[in-house]
Amino acid sequence: MSRALDRRRFLTTTLAGAAIVAFDPLRGGWVTAAQAAESTPAGAVAVPDLDGELTTDPAALAEAGDDYGHIVRRTPLAVLRPGSVADVVALVRYAARHRIAVSVRGQGHSTFGQAQVGAGVVIDSRTLDRVHEIRSDRATVDAGVTWFELATATLARGLTPPVLTDYLDLSVGGTLNAGGIGGTTQTYGMQVDTVLELEVVTGTGELVRCSPTRHRALFESVLGSLGQLAVVVRATVALVPAPASARGYSLYYTDLDTYLGDQRRLLAGRRFDSLEGQAARTAADDGWEFFVDSAVYFTGDRPDDAAVTRGLRHDPARTVTTDYTYAEWIDRLRPTVEFLKSIGAWYLPHPWLDMFLPASRTAEVVRGTLDTLTLADTGQGPVLLYPFRPGRVRPRFVRLPEERVAFLFSLLRTTVPPTTVESQLAGNRDLYDRGVAVGGTRYPIGSVELTRRDWQRHYGRDYPAFAAAKATWDPRRILSPGQGIFGPPR
């Protein structure tokens, strides 16, 4: 039941102007310290004492009501900048009691409002930013730490997380709720497969440490659960020895089938330590070509190029090799990102679509898509196309095609006028439908309007288990409504 507001507490608390001291359930709004000094709404309930800050500062609300997609905008009622894990516990308990929706925002790099919440509170995880411990085989970090920060800390000890995303300025909590795919997924699975332990706050506000041997069901359910079951506050992830260097190979193909065939051979043979690839418009903009984007890691002698590329059917005259330090390799997107920021393109809308396609049907879906896809449709954004083995990805709620090999097919679109977001979203829905029809699944970081029915289809025969997990760990449905999977808080 609501705790009546102690007016004296308001008057004696020295908080910043926009800081919140109570929630008014009748109005569905907050009471700031300044308002409370004037009058106290009857029935208002004091917010818990916090180490951090709960704010309605307009700049904080505007940031939390936007993301890298700049397509969906839902302004929250407040933003929590937690000063401790206890703050997350207190806020979630409070929200559950008063049926207030809560979402965590890591770096806000999903593209369709996934981390947003309209009538609720966004927990800005950036203040949970400590690297707690690095040992020879593992690191324990707060969920708001970015992979760049973690990798920087571990590389200083000659260690690295085994799987890194292409872009490193993503929060650990953010990618562990999605999956986290990269060039070494071929070997290690996704980032979710490298987690040894989690500390989470469930939707009822319970702080639980879970692992394969402790609260196993919760551990296995939370990884890749799109923020639906718990707030991840801390993670222990595996580390492996870091190589000194990486030799990058770009191998070009004009023919899709030849490219896909070689990619599958490369996946089977594990010739490269990092294996990715893309489709790209030809220089004459008269069609699509393909390139394997890969690297061999080494410490000491540089790999033998002839041995590395032997038997492949690429165009040898166009092969590009580049030497990097390992630190440069994992952060190789940074110069491009800086450039995109300098010309403003980084801040344009990004209606991305990311699909996982079963290998047996990849050629037909990719060909059917690229046949009509123009540079204007993608805004010159990259088109990722590379294989991995779904069987290496353990968490059941990361949905993948049911084949031994799948391809990531991502249209990383930017909206450059006169192309419109609407036309790109329509294209996304079209590709999504075609992908799903052949047994593909969506990597849920991008921009497609999904109905509840679509989500049920997404989880397929695991939907009842996912719904049951939601009912167990977030019975009031307060967590991450921005994904649109379940209904509003109840």
CA 294 and chain centroid, separation? 22
**Count of residues engaged in binding ligand FAD, rule: CB under 6 A:** 35
Verify binding: residue 154, ligand FAD, rule CB under 6 A: no
Q: Pick from 78, 69, 106: which is nearest to 21 by CA?
A: 78
Residue from 52, 120, 174, 277 touching ligand FAD (CB under 6 A): that is: 174
Residues in 186-225 at the binding interface with ligand FAD, rule: CB under 6 A: none
**CB closer to ligand FAD out of 105 and 247:** 105
Verify binding: residue 481, ligand FAD, rule CB under 6 A: no
Q: Which residue has the tokens 């795919």?
A: 181
Verify binding: residue 180, ligand FAD, rule CB under 6 A: yes
**CB closer to ligand FAD out of 125 and 184:** 125
Smallest distance from ligand FAD to CB 335, Å: 13
Verify binding: residue 435, ligand FAD, rule CB under 6 A: no
Residue from 165, 202, 419, 428 touching ligand FAD (CB under 6 A): that is: 165
Residue from 105, 126, 399, 470 touching ligand FAD (CB under 6 A): that is: 105
**CB closer to ligand FAD out of 45 and 54:** 54
Residue from 74, 81, 97, 109 touching ligand FAD (CB under 6 A): that is: 109
**CB closer to ligand FAD out of 29 and 182:** 182
Verify binding: residue 303, ligand FAD, rule CB under 6 A: no
Residue from 108, 120, 243, 381 touching ligand FAD (CB under 6 A): that is: 108
The interface mask with ligand FAD, positions 50-89, x = CB under 6 A, is -----------------xx---------------------
**CB closer to ligand FAD out of 67 and 87:** 67
To which H or E segment does residue 186 belong?
Answer: helix 185-188
3 state DSSP class of 288: strand
C-beta of residue 390 within 8 angstroms of C-beta of residue 441: no
Verify binding: residue 115, ligand FAD, rule CB under 6 A: yes
Smallest distance from ligand FAD to CB 183, Å: 9
Sheet holding 320-325, edge to edge: 320-325, 245-253, 288-298, 274-281, 383-388, 406-411, 353-358, 441-442
Burial of 30 (0-12, 13-18, 19+ CB in 10 A): buried
3 state DSSP class of 411: strand
- Asked whether the CA dihedral 206, 211, 215, 216 is positive or negative, the reply is positive
Say which residues have a Cβ less than 8 Å from residue 317's Cβ, sequence separation at least 6. none
CB contact burial 356-377 (16+ within 10 A = b; e otherwise): bbbbebbbebbeebbeebeeeb
Verify binding: residue 143, ligand FAD, rule CB under 6 A: yes
Residues in 438-477 at the binding interface with ligand FAD, rule: CB under 6 A: 445
H-type helices in 42-146, by residue range? 58-64, 85-98
Smallest distance from ligand FAD to CB 213, Å: 22
CA distances from 209 to 33, 212, 230, 471 (A): 35, 11, 12, 19
Residues in 226-255 at the binding interface with ligand FAD, rule: CB under 6 A: 226-227, 231-232
**CB closer to ligand FAD out of 106 and 248:** 106
The interface mask with ligand FAD, positions 366-385, x = CB under 6 A, is --------------------
| DSSP letters for 198-230 | EEEEETT--EEEEBTTBSHHHHHHHTTSTTSSE
Q: What is the largest CA-CA distance in the chain?
A: 79
Verify binding: residue 114, ligand FAD, rule CB under 6 A: yes
Residue from 44, 121, 159, 170 touching ligand FAD (CB under 6 A): that is: 170
To which H or E segment does residue 12 belong?
Answer: helix 7-12
H-type helices in 379-451, by residue range? 421-437
Residues at the contact surface with ligand FAD, assessed by CB under 6 A: 67-68, 103-110, 114-115, 125, 143, 165-167, 170-171, 173-175, 177-182, 226-227, 231-232, 445, 480, 483
